[in-house]
Amino acid sequence: MQTTRFERIKRVLDRRQTDLTVCLEDVHKHHNLSAIARTADATGCHHVHAVWPENQKWLTNNTSGGSKNWLETHLHADIDSAVAAMRMHNPDVQILATNLSDDAIDYRTVDYTKPTAVIVGQERDGISSQALSHADQHIIIPMQGMVQSLNVSVAAALILFEAQRQREHAGLYNRSMLDEQIKHRILFEGCHPIIAKQCRLKGLPYPALDEQGNINGDDTFWHKLKRCTELDDHANCK
């Protein structure tokens, strides 16, 4: 394998911001889902939350450009569940909602170096009153023209890149926040997708990787992987 890919993935994972997230409330158009997922990945978010119908398929690699492979997505039945999950993950999180209200503030005046979750709303109707009730602060993107709102993916991008700018300036991307087991899983799947797929199918744990990203499995692992592949029988892979 190419060492450069391993190093790039490792560098990205080392900069992941587990305390910066975006929550999509009933955003269903796939071009918007794709754009927001790509922005979340680009700005270093690791978690993406979404209120999503149980019977509808989430993003595919074709629609997200592969961004979903580098993010942890949490799907929720309603906004109350989404907010509860975000607060459980980090009780100190500030929840921001994009909404044109009397007490809304310019999105650029927010301190995004704090644990932050940004709720963006459905394309046609915007954020629900229930979601707004959970927000610690309403934020707006100032407009100089006749329109009063932007496409949801554009709005999310502006806010997340402002968060990135502030966090970069504060040196927050120099800390490693991801759990080592999560890092290993993503590294292994990103560098060795074929072997990773076989491991998942056969119930085998991912072996360690060396400093160059090569698989550091012992003879027992390779024997089990080969045996399981030949037999194609999970019951015989124990």
pLDDT over 70 (residue 53): yes
Degrees, nearest 5: CA angle 34-96-22: 25
pLDDT in the model for residue 31: 87
pLDDT in the model for residue 130: 94
If you write DSSP's letter for every residue of 128-172 in order, what string do you get? -HHHHHH-SEEEE----SS-----HHHHHHHHHHHHHHHHHHTTG
Residue type, 113: T
pLDDT in tens, 154-198: 999 999 999 999 999 999 999 999 999 999 999 999 999 999 999
Residue type, 95: I
CATH 3.20.20.140 corresponds to the domain 17-174:
no
pLDDT in the model for residue 63: 45
Model's pTM, two decimal places?
Answer: 0.86
| Sequence ranges of the chain with CATH classification 3.40.1280.10 | 17-174
pLDDT over 60 (residue 236): no
Alpha-carbon gap, residue 37 to 133, rounded angstroms: 25
pLDDT over 70 (residue 64): no
pLDDT over 90 (residue 69): no
Angle formed by the axes of helices 180-191 and 193-202, to 10°? 120
pLDDT in the model for residue 170: 98
